[in-house]
């Protein structure tokens, strides 16, 4: 009783459950054995993920499909090659850690259900099995597509949130003041009498009529800005003079004054590139 008792005590609960399942699990009927593939065909058409190793209804998943009783005997004819492979996998399988009795019973129940499903599917016509396999593949593809669409939607939402945050950050920044053209200042003229953008005030200078585009005292502009616009539109206009009292605008061919300031005319030289004739 000593050695036998010691061996019995050394067995784990799931090992005892596996032996009990093996004892009660019937072999495939002769008719089913005839319908099963054998030899090399077993690994291609019979014992494969589409039959015994289905990822969704297998007893312990694809990683452990070769373990336990849901193995070669339910998928292939019991020829020499199958038996050798079954023995090899049995010998190579590492011992599983001890599990509670309830877990062993649950595992045994799942294995029994899976074997019953396998026997049922084995008895179905080949056409029915193919339809089930096609349906399972279609469902698997659909799950993958749904997951890909979900991830794409999450990525699009994340990109929109980042874009909105970036836009809000840019809008919250204070707007920069517009810079002067060519970096030139407008001069130190009194308020309301500075030269417009693109021109610089020259103090106490004047251009004689010979260097102007006509001088008949009839070219009137109400503001210094409108006189500057005329200079910009006129090719080779390099400066202008404008009188706030006479509202007269004189356009000059030169940018340097040649005489003293005349009356209240403002002398504004152009700082931007000159228009070519």
Domain ranges of the chain: 49-78, 129-169, 199-270
- Pairwise pLDDT comparison (240 vs 80), residue with the higher score: 240
How far from 228 is each of 51, 198, 217, CA to CA, in Å? 89, 9, 17
Give pLDDT, residue 220: 87
Instruction: Quickly state the pLDDT bin for 85 (edges 50, 70, 90).
Output: low
Largest Cα separation within the chain, whole Å, is: 138
pLDDT in tens, 10-56: 444 444 444 443 443 344 444 455 555 555 455 444 455 445 544 33
Q: Which residue has the tokens 């001890």?
A: 98
Q: Mean of the pLDDT values across residues 69-91?
A: 59
pLDDT in tens, 163-211: 999 888 888 877 654 444 443 333 444 445 589 999 998 888 888 777 7
Report percent pLDDT > 90 for the chain. 14
Q: How far apart are CA 260 and CA 204, in angstroms?
A: 6
CATH code of 199-270, in short, is: 3.50.4.10
Q: How far apart are CA 141 and CA 154, in angstroms?
A: 20
- Pairwise pLDDT comparison (271 vs 94), residue with the higher score: 271
Of 27, 12, 7, whose CA–CA distance to 104 is shortest?
12
Q: Could you tell me how many residues make up the chain?
A: 277
């Amino acid at each position: 009783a000593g050695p036998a008792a010691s061996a019995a005590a050394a067995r784990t609960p799931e090992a005892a459950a596996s032996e009990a399942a093996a004892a009660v699990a019937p072999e495939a009927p002769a008719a089913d054995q005839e319908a099963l593939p054998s030899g090399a065909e077993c690994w291609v058409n019979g014992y494969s993920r589409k039959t015994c190793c289905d990822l969704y209804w297998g007893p312990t998943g694809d990683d452990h499909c070769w373990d336990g009783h849901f193995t070669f005997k339910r998928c292939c004819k019991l020829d020499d090659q199958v038996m050798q492979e079954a023995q090899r996998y049995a010998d190579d399988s590492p011992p599983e850690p001890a599990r509670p009795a309830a877990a062993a019973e649950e595992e045994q129940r799942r294995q029994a259900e899976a074997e019953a499903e396998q026997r049922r599917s084995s008895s179905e016509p080949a056409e029915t099995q193919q339809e089930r396999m096609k349906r399972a593949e279609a469902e698997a593809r659909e799950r993958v597509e749904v997951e890909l669409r979900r991830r794409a939607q999450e990525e699009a939402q994340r990109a929109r949130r980042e874009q909105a945050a970036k836009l809000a950050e840019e809008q919250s920044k204070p707007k920069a003041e517009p810079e002067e053209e060519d970096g030139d200042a407008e001069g130190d003229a009194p308020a309301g009498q500075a030269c417009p953008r693109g021109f610089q005030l020259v103090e106490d200078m004047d251009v004689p009529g010979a260097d102007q585009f006509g001088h008949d005292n009839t070219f009137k502009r109400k503001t210094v800005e409108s006189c500057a616009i005329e200079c910009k539109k006129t090719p080779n206009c390099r400066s202008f003079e404008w009188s706030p009292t006479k509202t007269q605008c004189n356009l000059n061919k030169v940018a340097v004054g040649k005489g003293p300031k005349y009356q209240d005319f403002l002398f504004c030289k152009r700082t931007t590139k000159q228009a070519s004739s």
